[in-house]
Amino acid sequence: MGWWFKMVLWQRVLLALILGVVVGLAFRTFGGTYIADGVTRYAGADFVTVWIKPFGDAFVRLIKMLVVPLVFTTLVTGVISMGHPSKLGSIGGRAFSLYVLTTLIAVSIGLVFGTIFKPGAGIDFTDVVPNVLAGEAPGFGQVLLNIIPTNPVFALSSGNMLSIIFFALLMGVAILIVGKKAKPVGDFFNSFVEVIFKITHWVMEVAPFGVFALITWVTAVKGVETFSSVLLLALALYLGCLTHIALVYGGLIKLVLKLPLIRFFRGILDAQVVAYSTSTSAGTLPVTITCVQDNLGVKPVVAGSVLPLGATINMDGTSLYLGLLALFAANAFGIDLSMTDYAMIALTATLASIGTASIPSASLFMLAIVLPVIGVSAEQTALMVGFILPFDRPLDMMRTLTNVTGDAAVSTAVAKWEGELDEKVYRAVATV
Ligand code: ASP
């Protein structure tokens, strides 16, 4: 076992990912097939779903378990370590502006790649079972109101991120303003956060096994041919996301912040692989926070405040995808788009990505907000969701990786500008 622990974690996780693809394909290819309800099914995939996937599910549950306590305590301690409430304004303002800016660029990249690849052209919807989206999306005013929890304990237990962020910020500011008398509460949170970090480290030790199980399952059930049905969409999304990561985050780190780029990507590799295999950026948050603090030297004051916010509202991969899907719909349903339509797509996709839950396939359900602006009917939207949902997983994996990379890049930028980046750690030879 010594060789295993000699490898740094990201190497173990990457090895698990590659092994997962190989084993998953082997199960799919050699497990045999049978026909059920007129469709071909893979016996190997069934076996993987019953016997291997639960290990992946257990891993996802373990990291999700950490999200609420981690977000709450890192935010409270993050604000306390700011020393003065005014710092919250400058960190928050910088983070929010960068989040919105990068999201707008991401939709634009999505629109460019959508124009080049024309996904959706010539798609035949005749056999598709429509997937009707549940209910009306709440109005913008209601969404804002809902940020204020009527019962903070309930917000914590239901994992309502924006409400948790709101309450944690208030707690932190109040502890700062009360001062000496609130010191025991502050000390409690500071020590609590250490305990949660310890558990996070333990959970990361099982990450390679969880990742192996999840990837084996995705490959066994979906196969590589999944891509071929939505090949152009997948190609446009993967290339679009890679372009966004290279140009926008790469440009930000290298040209704006003047920091070595390789260190950045190496530092967040664990978070990227976990994001890729779990398809949930909220679930990946504990790993993102650990990577950014331990490997990039972002101080807890920034990591603890900027990352939970980012995991909730900053989704560049998602907005890029929403832009692509809008063009997909326009091609599939023969809608001509004007310049105003493009601008409206960019605007609604940005807003929708802010409101998207950080869970698997969440962005598909935001189509109900984006598509009506270009005249796609509710029935057509249902048809599209029904068509894409079965193929969405490999696409979701790439979006989530992009979302998490964006959060890490923005937190590094804010840390540098706020003087909260330990460049010695950033530039040190990566050990994890
Ligand atoms: N799964 C994505 C995330 O958690 C959201 C989405 O695009 O569906 O970041």
251 within a domain of the structure (yes/no)? yes
Buried (b) or exposed (e) across 183-216, using 16+ Cβ within 10 A?
eeebeebeebbeebbeebeebbeebbbbbbbbbb
214 within a domain of the structure (yes/no)? yes
How many Å lie between the centroid of ligand 1 and the Cα of residue 406? Answer: 13
How many Å lie between the centroid of ligand 1 and the Cα of residue 318? Answer: 6
Tens of pLDDT along 373-417? 998 888 888 888 888 888 888 899 999 999 999 999 999 999 999
Bridge partners of 39, per DSSP, are 36
432 within a domain of the structure (yes/no)? no
How many Å lie between the centroid of ligand 1 and the Cα of residue 397? Answer: 8
1 within a domain of the structure (yes/no)? no
* Ligand 1 contacts CB of residue 60 (under 6 A): no
* Ligand 1 contacts CB of residue 277 (under 6 A): no
How many Å lie between the centroid of ligand 1 and the Cα of residue 282? Answer: 9
Backbone angles phi and psi of 359, in degrees to 5: -130, 165
Domain tally, the chain:
1
* Ligand 1 contacts CB of residue 412 (under 6 A): no
CB 345 within 8 A of CB 111: yes
* Ligand 1 contacts CB of residue 278 (under 6 A): no
- At 430 the pLDDT is 56
395 within a domain of the structure (yes/no)? yes
- At 432 the pLDDT is 46
* Ligand 1 contacts CB of residue 319 (under 6 A): no
* Ligand 1 contacts CB of residue 380 (under 6 A): no
How many Å lie between the centroid of ligand 1 and the Cα of residue 113? Answer: 20
Q: Cβ–Cβ contacts within 10 Å for residue 387, how many?
A: 22
Atom of ligand 1 at shortest range from CA of 279: 1
* Ligand 1 contacts CB of residue 299 (under 6 A): no
* Ligand 1 contacts CB of residue 279 (under 6 A): yes
2 within a domain of the structure (yes/no)? no
* Residue from 133, 244, 358, 393 whose mutation best tests the ligand 1 pocket (most atoms within 8 A of CB): 358
* Residue from 60, 133, 316, 361 whose mutation best tests the ligand 1 pocket (most atoms within 8 A of CB): 361
88 within a domain of the structure (yes/no)? yes
- At 409 the pLDDT is 98
> Judging by beta carbons within 10 Å of its beta carbon (0-12, 13-18, 19+), is residue 179 exposed, middle or buried?
exposed
Atom of ligand 1 at shortest range from CA of 315: 9
Domain containing 237 — which CATH number? 1.10.3860.10
Query: 191 vs 77, 184, 197, 208, CA distance in Å?
Result: 9, 10, 10, 28
* Ligand 1 contacts CB of residue 362 (under 6 A): yes
SS (H, E, C) the chain: CHHHHHCCHHHHHHHHHHHHHHHHHHHHHHCCEEEECCEEEEHHHHHHHHHCHHHHHHHHHHHHHHHHHHHHHHHHHHHHHHCCHHHHHHHHHHHHHHHHHHHHHHHHHHHHHHHHHCCCCCCCCCCCCCCCCCCCCCCHHHHHHHCCCCCHHHHHHHCCHHHHHHHHHHHHHHHHHHHHHHHHHHHHHHHHHHHHHHHHHHHHHCHHHHHHHHHHHHHHHHCCCHHHHCHHHHHHHHHHHHHHHHHHHHHHHHHHCCCCHHHHHHHCHHHHHHHHHHCCHHHHHHHHHHHHHHHHCECHHHHHHHHHHHHHHCCHHHHHHHHHHHHHHHHHCCCCCCHHHHHHHHHHHHHHHHHCCCCCCHHHHHHHHHHHHHCCCHHHHHHHHHHHHHHHHHHHHHHHHHHHHHHHHHHHHHHHHCCCECHHHHHCCCCC
* Ligand 1 contacts CB of residue 405 (under 6 A): no
Using 50 as the pLDDT threshold, list the residues of the chain that sit under it.
432
Atom of ligand 1 at shortest range from CA of 363: 8
Q: Cβ–Cβ contacts within 10 Å for residue 52, how many?
A: 20
The residue range of the domain holding 247 is 7-427
